[in-house]
Each structure stands twice: as C-alpha cells, then as structure tokens.
C-alpha cells in the first residue's frame, strides 16, 4: 500500500502493541457479540482496521501474501456463502429460510442441547459470515484505493 | 453570504435544541419506543432464542433477512469499488 518505514519505534508499537490488541479485540467483539454490544459488522470493521494499520505502517511481504487480493475476495465471498448457506441448511432440514431452530447437526446437541443451542449456533454462524464479508470488503477497498499510481510490484 | 450561512446554521441548531426538549426521558415507560412491539421482543428473546443481547437477537434471528440484505449491500459496494479501481489500474498500465 505505502512504502515501508524503517522506524524501530513504529515497528515496535504497531507490531507488538497495537495490531495484536486490535485483532484480539475484534475477535472478542465477534465471539462475545451475543452477550455484550457487538456483532459481525463491528468485528469485521475492527479486524479490517488492524489489517489496514499493519499494511500502512509495517507492510511486510508475508502479510501481503497471507491476505493477498485474490484471497481477500475469496474471504468476502466465503462470508456471504456462510450466511446464505446457513439459511439454506435450515431450509433443507424442513424449516424456513434462516430459521436456525431446525439445523440438523448432531454435534450441536452435544454442546448445547435443544432448540436454543441450535439457534445460538445459527446466530453465531451468520455473525462469522458477516464478519468475513465486512473484513474482506473493507480491506479490499482500502487496498485498492491506497495503491501507488505507478504500476510497480503490486500483485494482481 | 457568510453571515447568511452562519444564521442558517444557528437557526437549524436552535430548531434541533428546541425539538430535543420534547424528547421522552431515558427509560420512560410511556415513550413511543417502549409501548409498541419493543417490550415484546425484550420479554420473548430469552425463551425464543436464548441470547442475552436483545439487539443481536433481533438483528441476527428475528430480522435476519434484513441483515442478509445489509451484508449484500456491503458486498455489492465492495465489488463495485473493485471493478472501478481494477479498470483504472489496467488503463494506467496500457499508457
């Protein structure tokens, strides 16, 4: 996105303090979203903020490879498919679209028995889907908007 | 012109402040938000869905069609941004 800055202080603060804290907080907002304020949209935005911060300051080649543009597209589409697929899974097992109470997975009953456990898992599944979609969309948009005007070593 | 703008801004702010005096108090049981279908959700979420956060329950279960649509709006926006910017990059490389 931008050029790499060779500042020890910047590297330390971003790499050791800020980005791990932001990513951890994003995951917390996602998995705790059913109890406290939070949820998929917020978690996706926070995770994308962590990725964007790391790309703007300590842009490593490994990070670019790990979240390259094709992979971000795949992440976004997977999120949408997870959301829509949860609804379709409920539909195939005899309920309405997105009616999580009938999702037919045996292992859910072993964790939380009954209808409510399935609803809990269904809600969590779509929250994960929303998180992936929002994360991928924001990261992709900022990645493309922030690219240098001269065509240089950007992978496509 | 500038004075007119400042006057307009002050008038708008005064309008909003005057309107805010008539807002219902926090937690007023007779407020419009608390007499409709809202308390129904608050009461039924625990036995219907089993999630403590009523907002999450409404967003992700009662109104999950709506949330699906919202997510698709974001997705579509991202795809549109992608198409616009990919074309720009290709044109740059051709020249």
**What DSSP character marks residue B51?**
-
Domain span at B24: 1-32
User: Which residue, among B62, B64, B73, B86, would best test binding to A if mutated, counting the most A CBs under 10 Å from its CB?
Assistant: B64
Residue A135 near chain B (CB below 8 Å)? no
In a domain, residue B41? The reply is no
Angle, in degrees to the nearest 10, between helices A69-92 and A115-145: 160
- Among residues A76, A81, A72, the alpha carbon closest in space to that of A132 is found at A76
Residue A102 lies in domain: 8-145
CA-closest candidate to residue B49, choices B38, B60, B40, B39? B60
DSSP assignment string, A23-64: HHHHHHHHHTTTTSS--HHHHHHHHHHHHHHHHHHS--HHHH
Q: Closest residue of A to B60, CA-based?
A: A123
**Two tokens, residue A89:** 């899974």
For chain B, 95 residues long, give each residue's pLDDT as a single digit of tens. 899 999 999 999 999 999 998 888 887 888 887 788 888 888 888 888 878 888 888 888 888 889 999 999 999 998 888 888 876 555 555 44
The reply to whether residue A119 touches residue B50, judged by beta carbons under 8 angstroms, is yes
pLDDT confidence of residue A1? 47
Does the predicted interface ipTM exceed a cut of 0.90? no
The answer to whether the Cβ–Cβ distance between A116 and B50 falls below 8 Å is yes
Task: Look at chain B and report how many structural domains it folds into.
Answer: 1
The number of distinct structural domains making up chain A is 1
Calpha distance A135→A126 (Å, rounded): 14
Whether A130 and chain B come into contact, CB under 8 Å, resolves to: yes
Contacts of B77 in chain A (CB under 8 A): 137, 141
Mutate to test the interface with B, among A123, A147, A148 (most CBs of B within 10 A): A123
Helix (H, G, I), strand (E, B) or coil at B30: coil
Query: Residue B62 falls within a domain, yes or no?
Result: no
pTM for the model: 0.79
Q: How far is B9 from chain A (nearest CA, A)?
A: 33
* Residue A69 covered by a domain: yes
Q: Is A149 within 8 Å of B92 when comparing Cβ atoms?
A: yes
Q: Confirm whether B16 is domain-assigned.
A: yes
The string of pLDDT tens digits covering residues A23-74 is 999 999 998 888 888 788 999 999 999 998 888 887 677 777 888 888 999 9
Q: Is residue A155 part of a domain?
A: no
């Amino acid at each position: 996105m931008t050029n790499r800055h060779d500042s020890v202080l910047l590297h330390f603060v971003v790499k050791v303090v800020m980005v791990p804290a932001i990513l951890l907080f994003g995951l917390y907002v996602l998995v705790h979203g059913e109890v406290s304020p939070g949820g998929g949209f917020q978690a996706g935005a926070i995770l994308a903020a962590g990725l964007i911060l790391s790309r703007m300051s300590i842009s490593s080649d490994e990070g670019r490879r790990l979240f390259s543009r094709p992979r971000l597209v795949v992440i976004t589409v997977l999120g949408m498919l997870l959301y829509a697929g949860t609804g379709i899974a409920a539909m195939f097992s005899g309920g309405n679209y997105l009616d999580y109470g009938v999702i037919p997975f045996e292992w859910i009953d072993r964790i939380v028995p009954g209808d409510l456990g399935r609803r809990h898992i269904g809600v969590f599944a779509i929250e994960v889907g929303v998180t992936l979609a929002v994360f991928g969309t924001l990261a992709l948009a900022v990645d493309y908007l922030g690219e240098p005007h001269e065509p240089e070593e950007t992978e496509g | 012109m500038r004075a007119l703008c400042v006057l307009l801004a002050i008038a708008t702010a005064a309008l909003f402040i005057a309107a805010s005096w008539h807002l219902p108090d926090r937690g007023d049981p007779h407020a419009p938000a608390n007499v409709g279908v809202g308390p129904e959700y608050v009461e039924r979420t625990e036995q219907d869905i089993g999630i403590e956060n009523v907002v999450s329950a409404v967003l992700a279960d009662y109104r999950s069609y709506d949330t699906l649509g919202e997510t698709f709006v974001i997705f579509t926006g991202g795809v549109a941004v992608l198409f616009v910017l990919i074309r720009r990059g290709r044109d740059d490389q051709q020249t």
